[in-house]
């Protein structure tokens, strides 16, 4: 970071003067000022406002709130909606584990066998993102619908009973979550596996490791941080998701995202919705801090 | 697979340490088949979407039906037949362009600061990085809900302004991460050379730095645009009565989706995939 100043053997005056300029000293702050202000005003301040709202009492009719330091809001919301929290954790957890299992082999394959086509295969993993998230989920509703291309065909062939259905069950929600968040798992895993020094693997084979031993004793331990990162980067967004639940799930098995959305947009219960959001954020933060504690805070950012 | 693999492996074992090299040149056998199946699974809904955009409607209602009724290009000819949908689409495009420009400029400046300066000269760098990380890692519903809480508290009417503020807020961190990754291998000696030759900071930035980091900035801008046009959760909270495309589509699921939704979806997909392949081809030609 000694950078350009003073290094120059050219007429010294110019460079010397430049070093003293306040602009140079302020440069890092000036460069980060616009983004910093934006994130402060529209990310950190809203979080504080959210915490403050959760302690206020709101008029459901008008949405007007007054501060009452009502700490009980957290407890009452939690006792009202703990089932929805548990359902969210259960669905998001199931979807994340499915994604880890499904995407590990493909991440491994791209990293080791992708060759010059690696970028092409990574793009293929990202292809779903070229279609709007909501439309993707609606299309799954079509595919899984009772008389749709899959179930309808199977039913017509009498391979399934007529009253069999997937939509409006927890399975449909987990399937939708697993589909929509698969790239969030596959890409960090790819980064982790790609980073393995291939000579270490060669060394294992030279020492007569079998394929399985090379995998369980070299590759798997080296990808543990990546596995955790992939878990968090999939689980946290899936936890707050409500689109899959609302489109693919039924009126049962409500996830916490639906409750928060209804609190804010339908019931105008800003206090309750804020309290629930704060709890959701707390769950996410616990995961992130656990990761930082176990594997070092810097490493997770490498997988973004 | 074991039978196929056994012979070359025994042969390789006899030849000692040249084995690993051969191993890596294979195409991956079952793993390759599996991977292609996963890719097929990922693109399946896209084919279904494109197919249904050509599906006839028999009921007379402007809704896509689950069953296949025959091929038609009617919906492409009547692409703007649903006024609400068309205006939602143009809102998404305007919003995407505006938020991309803002987020790219602001995010690139931050990336420059983060790559070039460290704590003695840049106090608070760690805090900025942690804020960015939290911004990316936090569940989106929390961001959307907290933004709505803010807008309600300061009594800011929901509409284009709040959408733009929110979209830039969630794009900045992604732009910064993308640009910073491309900046990591930047050769500072080129800038020093320019300074040695008497260029001032602005000239150096304009003639040396900017052209060199342009691919990174473009990648960041693409990221911001993709995030903006696809965003549903945050937009749903802060859009008020001006729904962007994804929010409009979500609202339509209650009453039935007009086939034009799939037309827009297919066209956006086509344009996106063309851009992506163009960027890959360009990158390869340069390399």
CATH code for the domain in which residue B172 is found: 1.10.3720.10
The parent domain of residue B186 ranges over: 83-257
**What is the average per-residue pLDDT within B197-223?**
86
Query: How confident is the model at residue B7, as a pLDDT?
Result: 34
- Residue B270 inside a domain? The answer is no
pLDDT (tens digit per residue) in B83-133: 889 999 999 999 999 999 999 999 999 999 998 888 888 888 889 988 998
Asked if A106 and B137 come within 8 Å (Cβ–Cβ), the reply is no
Report pLDDT digits (tens) over B139-163.
999 999 999 999 998 989 999 999 9
Question: ipTM of the predicted structure?
Answer: 0.84
Per-residue confidence (pLDDT) for residue B92, from 0 to 100: 93
Q: How far is CA A24 from CA A247, A261, B110, B188, in A?
A: 54, 47, 15, 16
Residue whose C-alpha is closest to residue B236's, from B115, B144, B156: B144
pLDDT at residue A100, rounded to an integer:
96
Does B149 lie in the same domain as B190? yes
Q: Are residues B48 and B108 in the same domain?
A: no
Higher-pLDDT residue of A275 and A163 is A275
Stretch A195-220: mean pLDDT: 88
Cα separation, B9 vs A65, in Å, equals: 73
pLDDT cut 70: percent of chain A above it: 89
Give CA B250 to chain center in angstroms: 20
Clarify whether residues B40 and B94 are in a common domain. no
Give yes or no for residue A145 having a pLDDT over 90.
Answer: no
CB-closest option in B28, B118, B143 to A113: B28
Together in a domain, B43 and B129? no
Considering only CB atoms, which chain A residues are within 8 Å of B255? none
User: Which residue, chain included where needed, has tokens 């008029």?
Assistant: A59
Is the residue at B155 inside a domain? yes
Q: Do both B136 and B235 map to the same domain? A: yes
Considering the domain boundaries, does residue B70 fall inside one?
Answer: no
Q: How confident is the model at residue B226 (pLDDT cuts 50, 70, 90)?
A: confident
Per-residue pLDDT reduced to its tens digit, B42-85: 999 999 999 989 988 877 777 787 777 888 888 898 888 888 89
Please indicate, yes or no, whether residues B233 and B112 belong to a single structural domain of this protein: yes
Same domain, B147 and B223: yes
The beta-carbon neighbor of B149 closest among A183, A247, A270 is: A270
Same domain, B99 and B232: yes
CATH of domain A72-303: 1.10.3720.10
Predicted local distance difference test score (pLDDT) of residue B16: 44
Determine the pLDDT at residue B88: 94
- Chain B, 154 to 173: residues with Cβ < 8 Å from chain A are 165-166, 168-169, 172-173
A8-17 pLDDT per residue, tens? 444 444 444 4
Angle formed by the axes of helices A270-295 and B125-137, nearest 10°: 120
Q: Residue A297 — very low, low, confident or very high, per pLDDT cuts 50/70/90?
A: low
Average pLDDT over residues B159-172: 96
Whole-number pLDDT of residue A137: 94
- State how far Cα B76 lies from the chain centre: 26
B69 located within any domain: no
Query: Are B110 and B28 in a shared domain?
Result: no
Last residue of a domain, one of B36, B52, B68: B52
């Amino acid at each position: 970071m000694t950078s350009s100043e003073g290094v120059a053997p050219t007429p010294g005056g110019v460079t010397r003067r430049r070093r003293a300029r306040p602009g140079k000293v302020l440069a890092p702050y000036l460069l980060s000022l616009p983004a910093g202000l934006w994130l402060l005003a529209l990310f950190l301040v809203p979080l504080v406002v959210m915490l403050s709202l959760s302690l206020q009492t709101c008029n459901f009719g008008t949405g007007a709130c007054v501060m009452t330091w009502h700490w009980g809001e957290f407890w009452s919301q939690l006792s009202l909606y703990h089932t929805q929290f548990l359902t969210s954790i259960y669905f998001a957890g199931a979807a994340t584990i499915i994604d880890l299992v499904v995407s590990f082999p493909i991440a491994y394959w791209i990293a080791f066998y992708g060759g010059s086509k690696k970028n092409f295969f990574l793009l293929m993993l990202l292809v779903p993102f070229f279609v709007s998230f909501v439309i993707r989920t609606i299309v799954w509703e079509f595919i899984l619908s009772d008389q749709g291309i899959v179930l309808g065909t199977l039913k017509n062939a009498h391979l399934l009973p007529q009253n069999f259905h997937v939509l409006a069950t927890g399975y449909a929600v987990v399937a939708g979550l697993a589909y929509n968040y698969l790239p969030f798992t596959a890409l960090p895993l790819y980064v982790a596996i790609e980073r393995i020094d291939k000579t270490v693997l060669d060394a294992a084979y030279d020492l007569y490791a079998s394929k399985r031993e090379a995998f369980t004793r070299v590759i798997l331990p080296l990808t543990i941080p990546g596995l955790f990162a992939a878990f968090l980067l999939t689980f946290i967004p899936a936890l707050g998701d409500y689109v899959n639940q609302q489109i693919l799930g039924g009126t049962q098995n409500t996830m916490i995202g639906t409750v928060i959305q209804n609190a804010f947009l339908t019931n105008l219960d800003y206090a309750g919705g804020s309290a629930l959001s704060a709890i959701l954020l707390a769950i996410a933060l616990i995961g992130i801090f656990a990761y930082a504690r176990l594997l070092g805070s810097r490493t997770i950012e490498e997988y973004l | 697979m074991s039978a196929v693999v056994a012979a070359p492996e025994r042969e390789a074992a006899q030849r000692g340490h040249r084995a690993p090299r051969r191993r890596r040149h294979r195409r991956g056998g079952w793993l390759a088949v599996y991977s292609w199946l996963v890719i097929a699974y990922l693109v399946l809904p896209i084919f279904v979407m494109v197919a249904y955009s050509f599906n006839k409607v028999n009921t007379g209602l402007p809704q896509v039906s689950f069953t296949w009724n025959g091929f038609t290009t009617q919906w492409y000819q009547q692409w703007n037949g649903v006024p609400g949908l068309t205006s939602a689409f143009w809102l998404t495009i305007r919003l995407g362009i505006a938020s991309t420009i803002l987020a790219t400029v602001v995010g690139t400046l931050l990336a420059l600061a983060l790559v070039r300066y460290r704590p003695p000269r840049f106090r608070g760098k760690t805090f900025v990085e942690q804020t960015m990380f939290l911004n990316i890692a936090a569940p989106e519903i929390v961001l959307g809900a907290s933004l709505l809480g803010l807008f309600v508290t300061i009594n800011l009417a929901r509409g284009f302004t709040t959408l733009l503020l929110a979209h830039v807020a969630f794009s900045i961190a992604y732009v910064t991460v993308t640009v910073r990754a491309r900046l990591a291998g930047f050769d500072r000696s080129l800038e020093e050379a320019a300074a040695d030759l008497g260029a001032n900071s602005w000239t150096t930035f304009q003639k040396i730095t900017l052209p060199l980091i342009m691919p990174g900035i473009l990648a960041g801008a693409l990221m911001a645009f993709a995030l903006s046009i696809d965003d549903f959760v945050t937009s749903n909270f802060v859009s008020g009565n001006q729904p962007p495309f994804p929010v409009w589509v979500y609202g339509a699921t209650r009453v039935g989706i007009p086939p034009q939704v799939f037309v827009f979806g297919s066209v956006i997909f086509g344009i996106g995939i063309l851009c992506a392949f163009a960027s890959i081809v360009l990158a390869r030609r340069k390399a």
